[in-house]
């Protein structure tokens, strides 16, 4: 959130034009802490709400700030379709690998084999590789950073503001209480250190290999993965056609 706030200050876009929309979950509460126009919507519906808001007033810089569960599980349908349409909004996905607000349940990005309160014997599910999902859906910009890569993260959030089309950044976020403690990452600091050790800037790594697997010593790839210029979504205007 600090990076997002800093990016707003550095954006040169008046703060009155910045709008944050968030869903339900710990990171869904971000909207309530920001002194800009902020909308805290229902679970999974931050993105369509933001799409409606942006299309009704294209002058606004609309950013969705929510969590992995909110965006990729219950809100997954909206996530892939907004990306497919390439609607000109930015999405910051705080990925803490679980549903933290409700006490640490299995989520769409919970690494395979990780314990949660609803996967006490280890998650039997393969998680999303979010960058791969967003790239396949059509987003113009896809990146992944962690809460230790604060400089790159702020730079990329700033970049997303001016990037036309759908921009998405996944941010790995420590969640000792909800996830870490059950998966040998006792403290927030330990997860930050894990990022420090295991994160590698992905140069030339195929996007379908960016999945996260905490069990092995496989690196956690971060960086900018997609930066392209597909036409952003524009409502049809008759004068554009004639």
Partner 1 sequence: MTSSGVLTGKHFFQGDEACAEGAIAAGCRFFGGYPITPSTEIAERLAHRFPEIGGVFIQMEDEMGSMAAVLGASAAGARAMTATSGPGFSLMMENIGLAVMMELPCVVVNVQRGSPSTGLPTLPGQSEVMQARWGSHGDYGLAAFSPWSPQEMFDLTIHSFNVADRYRIPILLMADEVVGHMVERVVIPREDQITRWERKRPDPNNKDAFEPFLAEDPDLVPPLAYAGEGYRVHFTGLTHDELGYPDMSAETHHRLVTRLVEKINYNSEKIVQTEDHFMDDARIVVVSYGSTARSARRAVKDARQEGIPVGFLRLVSLWPFPTNQIRELADHVDSFIVAEMNLGQMALEVERHVRRPVTGVHHAGGAMMAPDRILDAIREVANTGYTHLR
Partner 2 sequence: MRVFARTPIDWAEVRVPRGQVYLIPERCKGCNICVEFCPQDVLQVSDQTNAKGYHLPEIATGKERACVHCEFCSIVCPEFAIFTLEVDE
Read off φ and ψ for residue 41, nearest 5 degrees: -95, -165
By beta-carbon proximity to partner 2, the closer residue of 68 and 88 is 68
CB 140 within 8 A of CB 165: yes
Considering only 2-10, 12-20, 91-99, 158-166, which stretch makes contact with partner 1 by CB under 8 A?
12-20
16 binds partner 1 (CB under 8 A): yes
* Burial class of 12 by CB neighbour count within 10 A (0 to 12, 13 to 18, 19+): exposed
In the complex, minimum distance from the CB of residue 125 to partner 2, in angstroms, rounded to a whole number: 28
162 binds, among partner 1, partner 2, none (CB under 5 to 8 A by kind): none
Displacement of CA 175 from its chain's centroid (Å): 15
242 binds partner 1 (CB under 8 A): no
17 binds partner 1 (CB under 8 A): yes
| Residue 19 to residue 188: CA distance in whole angstroms | 29
Strand bridging mode 98-99 / 199-201: unpaired
193 binds, among partner 2, partner 1, none (CB under 5 to 8 A by kind): partner 2
By beta-carbon proximity to partner 2, the closer residue of 104 and 108 is 104
Residues at the interface with partner 2 (CB under 8 A):
2-3, 6, 147-148, 150-151, 154, 187-189, 192-193
CA distances to 147, 181, 195, 221 from 192, rounded to whole Å, are 7, 14, 5, 15
103 binds, among partner 2, partner 1, none (CB under 5 to 8 A by kind): none
CB 200 within 8 A of CB 219: yes
Chain positions 27 to 46 lying near partner 1, rule: CB under 8 A, are 29, 31-32, 35-42, 44-45
Displacement of CA 188 from its chain's centroid (Å): 19
Interface with partner 1 (CB under 8 A): 15-17, 19, 21, 29, 31-32, 35-42, 44-45, 47-57, 59-60, 77-78, 81, 235-238, 241
């Amino acid at each position: 959130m600090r990076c997002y706030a800093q990016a707003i200050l550095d954006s040169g876009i008046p703060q009155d034009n910045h709008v944050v929309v968030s869903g339900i979950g710990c990171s869904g509460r971000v909207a309530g802490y920001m002194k800009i126009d902020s909308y805290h919507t229902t679970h999974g519906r931050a993105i369509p709400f933001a799409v409606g808001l942006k299309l009704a007033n294209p002058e606004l810089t609309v950013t969705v700030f929510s969590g992995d569960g909110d965006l990729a599980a219950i809100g997954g349908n909206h996530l892939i379709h907004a990306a497919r349409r390439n609607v000109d909004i930015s999405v910051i996905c705080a990925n803490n690998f679980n549903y933290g607000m409700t006490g640490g349940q299995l989520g769409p990005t919970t690494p395979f084999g990780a314990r949660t309160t609803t996967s006490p014997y280890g998650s039997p599910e393969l998680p999303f590789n979010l960058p791969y999902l967003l790239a396949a859906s059509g987003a113009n910009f896809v990146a992944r950073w962690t809460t230790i890569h604060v400089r790159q993260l702020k730079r990329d959030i700033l970049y997303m503001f001016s990037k036309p089309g759908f921009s998405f950044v996944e941010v790995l976020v420590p969640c000792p209480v909800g996830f870490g403690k059950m998966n040998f990452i006792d403290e927030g600091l330990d997860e930050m250190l894990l990022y420090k050790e295991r994160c590698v800037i992905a140069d030339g790594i195929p996007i379908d290999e960016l999945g996260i697997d905490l069990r092995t010593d496989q690196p956690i790839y971060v960086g900018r993965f997609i930066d392209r210029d597909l036409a952003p979504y524009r409502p049809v205007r008759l004068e554009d056609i004639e």
